[in-house]
Structure 1
């Protein structure tokens, strides 16, 4: 181990901290990221149209210039992680522990709830019907409605499947767990660039800028869903109970969400986050079982098997498709930018909950098992919507017009027995999905800013409330403010994708080193 690494380890031996250090006030990354988010909000308040114009220009530039690179980055991340998992490096145990801290079910539940987030409900309902009504260009329109349905599900599986999950915590988690738990480096995004930049990555302005980019990206990606939660639940409450669909309802919904995820983040990994994740997975499994029993069961089973088979058969062509850049910018590349923006912070969270796991367990859970479960969930929810649409044209697509995600979900739930109860349960599920993302990202940002794996309660409260209040300010301007923030995460993916790049070769190198050290 180098003298510098020894020095870093010495620096991270717990020492008494001042109040400023506990709150992260001495960390320039706090002021850079917080200042940037504040500037974004002020510009939205001052001239929302100007903000949208700037974001749209940056969005267009990002997806055009970096789209091809992102597609290659995600594909290589997945393939390399699989190689590490199936080879002798798969037996390497991570986190300097002989056995896992968290049992398998709770560990998997946290991963699924945190990474799937709110997209796991509204997008699961909306994306398959969107691709069914407007077939993806790689497949084109087919004469058989059944084939159109399979193609629609396959495209949805590609966007929410293996590649998306792999970039959120496979190779990067291996790098972070090795450098943090074995070498004593901080559990922060800057550590990902330590093998290239050395000491410069960990100190001074360079390290702060690396962390700030990742904090802004994940904050934007979390604030957006919090804002959309308010908009979507408000729409649904109006449709189901005639409660006014306005800012007051949205305000109350988001206020409740802030309270729940902030309290959960305060309680720590071993309490709130685990409890919410566990019960949400139980609720999701219950809803899946119910739809499988009372819904279009044969269609769900057959479409899932065919859809997964079609995705695997067309895996490389779908992952590398560049034929219609306009379509890509609003689908594949948009999703890739969104997931990349989450990448480093999700890797930190996974590194924090995965101590004692082997590389094989980590990669299989994040890059294989979670995507397979996600694809089945998309088939149960979105596949049912496609089946209803095929049986009664317009029954789902009419509600979905104008890309109305919550309307698509309600159009599906209204065609099931006990529609009101099912709709309410889906809204609860969506809320908890977003709350679990909110509490885990509140916790993770607090870890990065404070440099402590058990950050001070005040800093957790600050980030939890700040993200919620930002969402409230943006939705008070209309859905355009939140939409601008959602698009902005794709712009933040530009620097973040460069931070993720070195893991392609650093993860295999470190895995081999650890295999030697562990006698494998």
Structure 2
């Protein structure tokens, strides 16, 4: 019997560092170059940058604000219709059963999408609307109704519409075109039904992806920078640690290390682990405040606040009576959330394989918003309750729109104030870290075109976003504020990329329902 000849499998051709970092990729140059230009302009002349950004911000708010309001409203309503109809039973992702169990799936979505808003805004926005009443409601004589209206307005900004735009319809489109049709898991694929192959190749595809990367990078760099500013303020208030650039630098560097390591470990390890523990910590704090804090106010405020929001849902969603107020609140938030839209759809598509359209929509459009509203009532509602009992207790700390000041005013008037304050700071940090690692991962997926991008590119983007935040912090809070306003400008092209999903998602869902015999 003759021996089988030896066969040698050739080693794969090693990739150079340039190839691993995708430095020859036009998407990398377009997105990275634009962010670099923003930083250079900030370093060269912060006043010039602020002037340009403010002009662009005003233009975006004026011409696109009404469109964004309609876009978010239609996205929510169409998603609900798909979940209720026969299309609700469609299984997404070409997988019979979910690859991630229910608790971990919910934890990942909640932690990634709530981001930095999950703590500081939860404390600050309700008290802001309590102090200065939203124009839609007028100024009621009854302080209880004033509190309910403040909660309802906060719920509107962080509830049904905000969650729907981050991936309900777009995830349906992407999951079908990627997992069933083999198209790339990139923002450009969202325009494939409209533009055909032209959307996937050449300058058009590169420009689509770059716009979405710039938007989500700006939306992530901002919270990372504010994390440094806000935690530094809190540490100074609690422990007299100097509130300066050195402290802010150390905080951001620690955040970079944590979220980059988490992104390198992948979806099934670091991101899931951080999300799971963050949800457990948030649940613990919710239960503690619900029992120890103003329990009756929290329960009654949540129920009536949600009822008020639902009762005024369409008027609040379409309100155009005070454009100055809208630019500071509703339309600003819509621009921020829109910027995350395509990239969050990619991330949701990666973690939601095997879920039905009904499960996806009910989670994003209903369950997650109601959980968010309850969290806002636990934190912000407690602040309003304290303010009603002792006027000035929270509002004076919040003066000058001091977000961490509002949070500390609340936590310092609960039993074990220092411990609770520290736990909230840890919670905030992990919220922003989970957004940092998930967006680092997602940007790397888009640039590399690989659902498991190499360690080089993950590390590169993780570090670059953090370093950008540090540079902007070094310029003072104005640098980060300019970036926050710039986020709204980047939402303009992104909102146009999201538009076709309004009709593509129902059409593709109907096709899948027919193919799956529903």
Q: TM-score range by the shorter chain?
A: over 0.9
Alignment correspondent of 2:351:
353
Partners in 1 of 2:485 and 2:176 — Cα distance?
Answer: 33
> Is the Cα–Cα contact under 8 Å of residues 114 and 440 in structure 1 kept in the other structure?
yes
> Normalising by the residue count of structure 2, what TM-score does the alignment of the two structures yield?
0.97
Matches for 1:80-91 after TM superposition, within 5 Å: 80-91=78-89
Alignment correspondent of 1:128:
126
Does 2:191 align with 1:193?
Answer: yes
Alignment correspondent of 2:434:
436
Q: CA deviation at 1:22?
A: 3.7
Task: Tell me the alpha carbon deviations over residues 159-209 of structure 1, each in whole angstroms, 9 at most, x when there is no partner.
Answer: 000000000010000000000000000000000000111111000000000
Q: CA deviation at 1:338?
A: 0.3
Deviates more, 1:17-26 or 1:294-303: 17-26
Partners in 2 of 1:113 and 1:482 — Cα distance?
Answer: 22
Q: CA deviation at 1:140?
A: 1.1
Partners in 1 of 2:76 and 2:156 — Cα distance?
Answer: 12
Task: Tell me the alpha carbon deviations over residues 85-111 of structure 1, each in whole angstroms, 9 at most, x when there is no partner.
Answer: 011000000000000000000000000
Indicate how the Cα distance of structure 1 residues 179 and 21 shifts in structure 2: closer, same or farther if over 3 A, else same. Answer: farther
Alignment correspondent of 1:329:
327
Alignment correspondent of 1:171:
169
Partners in 2 of 1:400 and 1:266 — Cα distance?
Answer: 38
> Is the Cα–Cα contact under 8 Å of residues 411 and 420 in structure 2 kept in the other structure?
yes
Alignment correspondent of 2:316:
318
Partners in 1 of 2:132 and 2:13 — Cα distance?
Answer: 60
2:119 alignment partner, SS class: helix
1:135 alignment partner, SS class: coil
Alignment correspondent of 1:152:
150
Does 2:225 align with 1:221?
Answer: no
Instruction: Count matched residues.
Output: 506
Q: Out of 374, 387, 408, which is 1:376 matched to?
A: 374
> Is the Cα–Cα contact under 8 Å of residues 92 and 515 in structure 1 kept in the other structure?
yes
Alignment correspondent of 2:3:
none
Alignment correspondent of 1:75:
73
1:118 alignment partner, SS class: helix
> Is the Cα–Cα contact under 8 Å of residues 130 and 146 in structure 2 kept in the other structure?
yes
Partners in 2 of 1:92 and 1:184 — Cα distance?
Answer: 18
Runs of 4+ with deviation above 6 angstroms: none
Matches for 1:333-482 after TM superposition, within 5 Å: 333-482=331-480
Over the aligned positions, Cα root-mean-square deviation in angstroms equals 0.8
Q: CA deviation at 1:21?
A: 4.4
1:26 alignment partner, SS class: coil
> Is the Cα–Cα contact under 8 Å of residues 21 and 460 in structure 2 kept in the other structure?
no
1:143 alignment partner, SS class: coil
> Is the Cα–Cα contact under 8 Å of residues 277 and 436 in structure 1 kept in the other structure?
yes
Task: Tell me the alpha carbon deviations over residues 360-411 of structure 1, each in whole angstroms, 9 at most, x when there is no partner.
Answer: 0001111110000000000000000000000000000000000000000000
Alignment correspondent of 1:9:
none
> Is the Cα–Cα contact under 8 Å of residues 21 and 450 in structure 1 kept in the other structure?
no
Alignment correspondent of 1:4:
none
Alignment correspondent of 1:506:
504
Q: CA deviation at 1:458?
A: 0.4
Partners in 2 of 1:514 and 1:218 — Cα distance?
Answer: 30
Q: CA deviation at 1:63?
A: 0.5
Alignment correspondent of 1:8:
none
Does 2:301 align with 1:303?
Answer: yes
> Normalising by the residue count of structure 1, what TM-score does the alignment of the two structures yield?
0.97
Alignment correspondent of 2:248:
250
Partners in 1 of 2:167 and 2:14 — Cα distance?
Answer: 31
Task: Tell me the alpha carbon deviations over residues 319-369 of structure 1, each in whole angstroms, 9 at most, x when there is no partner.
Answer: 000000000000000000000000000000000000000000001111110
Q: CA deviation at 1:426?
A: 0.1
Point out where structure 2 has 5 or more consecutive residues left out of the alignment.
Answer: 1-11
Partners in 2 of 1:231 and 1:248 — Cα distance?
Answer: 11
Q: CA deviation at 1:26?
A: 2.9
> Is the Cα–Cα contact under 8 Å of residues 22 and 455 in structure 1 kept in the other structure?
no
Task: Tell me the alpha carbon deviations over residues 72-97 of structure 1, each in whole angstroms, 9 at most, x when there is no partner.
Answer: 00000000000000110000000000
Q: CA deviation at 1:146?
A: 0.3
